[in-house]
Structure 1
């Protein structure tokens, strides 16, 4: 067996440099892709790299970004959530119905909306954890039920006439920064702390890494799975409130396909569908990549049909790379 002797001051060999390069690429690859995409779009469209458009990109993707953060935590545990878009719609119509001028206090409307989101998540999580049913099936059922409830609540019609105080959430700004961006980064920061600085976060990774080992170690897997889906539902409700405020109406059709964009952002950002791997920072970058791509292609007048195809290709490539990484481990 050969031993590698490290001499102080010796230059690293080609193999060592290659290993370091791969490690750096694995860690910062998505960030480099985002930077490259921004540079490319700036060269192709003179209106892309302006302060107004950059803020617009982040504001537009803030709703999907918030949902993607919750989805990231679920995917880390080897789960999936297909109900996010429908929960956005249900939250949207209920909150809108309580946010007419002079009706209910704003705080009450927001609390009811957040309770609906958290409640749907807790129901899904309980069925998944206690019933040991595949997350795909349970959240697919919740997706259908929540969308149906939103349509039933409104009769399929939008709800308008919202108060100015409610509309400020999605349309206002503080020191020139739009409120959706502020809320998005607060959610990202809080979620980062939860995932990296708390026992809850450690258990999320433990469940995703090896569920049986987590059980043996004394982790109450059922309890934490329920809480994870509840937290993701809460974030979907926050996203629904922002979206409703931005468009100034509660729409029973709101949030269509948002769950797929959220999953795409998480996977593009490095979250492994095999579980145990994922970061909030990576998901934020993944959401920004989707936002930059959508905005840039819109400015270049590229058909939305081609945009869907490109997004599908990117997701497929990201999953392919992820599967290759897992095979090597």
Structure 2
């Protein structure tokens, strides 16, 4: 009886991975060409910017919070990058006064500044005003979307996609190095840096302590407010990098850029084992979760599944992931 109970608990704990695995196997059976190397690189490239975004969101979830504004913040950063890196030969560019190509580091830094500003607003609400991360990030989401719409609408020819980008920019983002897409290398680099921060720095240790038990962390001498702000600052830097790369990847930024990216990032984190109860999570887990989710997204699109049905399936995956996470939390208590 005990063995049966043990196996049933194991099946429940890993039910999500089993279901996702079965779905992927089903796609491969339906169309074996899905496993082509070209498709794998496409999946990893598409997962890269969402993966970098998820690395930032993961820190907030470890703090027992979340960030609903990540997607819209990414949209703002992407708009800044794209507008400054439009081809100087494009007659309808947003900044006609830019007659010489800008160093690409400048738009990247400005994108990071914009994203950090929004993230620090979220961090201030959580750390200083003691607001729930859900509420403050919901408000920031609306602010960021409004700012994005105003920025794109400010063009002299009216609201139009920010396209016709500098070839150098497109080549940097979409090129390959040693046969591997540059986007994948950027994701790997960001993941390595975040692994070091999470596992080898005082900030990482304090982050897990605060997420596990805020009161205990404060009593032990951890400056809770300062560390929360630092976690949001790091997230802002990651958002800025993801924004810069995403604009170059899609090559056309509109007011819809970033829509639902936050949900993909949160879903990837939860699938990868980052617990909403706080204090639990790993960088490899985040990467695995994001890639699994992107495989599902791409496979549904690849098989021509109805776009509306795709939303239903993704919603069910999120519910199942959170349900399993809650079950584990209750079992620990």
Q: How does 1:238-257 map to 2 (within 5 A)?
A: 238-257=241-260
CA distance in 1, matches of 2:123, 2:227: 9
Aligned to 2:273: 270
Aligned match of 2:139 in 127, 135, 141?
Answer: 141
Give the unaligned 5+ runs of structure 2: 89-99, 154-158
SS state of the match for residue 121, structure 1?
helix
Aligned match of 1:258 in 261, 274, 280?
Answer: 261
Which of 220-229 and 34-43 deviates more?
34-43
Q: CA deviation at 1:41?
A: 2.2
Instruction: Give the superposed CA RMSD.
Output: 2.3
CA distance in 2, matches of 1:152, 1:323: 40
- Assess if the C-alpha contact under 8 Å between 1:125 and 1:226 holds in 2: yes
Which of 73-82 and 165-174 deviates more?
165-174
SS state of the match for residue 131, structure 1?
coil
Aligned to 2:116: 118
Aligned match of 2:85 in 91, 96, 99?
Answer: 99
Give the unaligned 5+ runs of structure 1: 1-13
Q: CA deviation at 1:158?
A: 1.8
Cα distance change, pair 81–325 in 1 and its aligned pair in 2 (3 A): same
Tell me how many residue pairs correspond in the alignment. Answer: 315
- Assess if the C-alpha contact under 8 Å between 2:152 and 2:160 holds in 1: yes
- Alignment deviations for residues 264-312 of structure 1 (CA, whole Å, 9 cap, x no partner): 1111111111111111111211111211111111222111111111111
Q: CA deviation at 1:251?
A: 2.3
Aligned to 1:65: 51
Aligned to 2:217: 214
CA distance in 2, matches of 1:17, 1:188: 39
Q: How does 1:166-245 map to 2 (within 5 A)?
A: 166-245=169-248
Aligned to 2:76: 90
Does the alignment pair 1:320 with 2:306?
Answer: no
Aligned to 2:93: none
CA distance in 1, matches of 2:146, 2:327: 39
Cα distance change, pair 49–306 in 1 and its aligned pair in 2 (3 A): same
CA distance in 2, matches of 1:310, 1:320: 15
TM-score (norm 1): 0.89
Q: CA deviation at 1:127?
A: 2.3
Cα distance change, pair 317–30 in 1 and its aligned pair in 2 (3 A): closer
Q: CA deviation at 1:211?
A: 0.2
CA distance in 1, matches of 2:58, 2:328: 18
Which of 311-320 and 93-102 deviates more?
93-102
- Alignment deviations for residues 218-239 of structure 1 (CA, whole Å, 9 cap, x no partner): 1111011111112112222222
- Alignment deviations for residues 75-99 of structure 1 (CA, whole Å, 9 cap, x no partner): 0101111111111111111111211
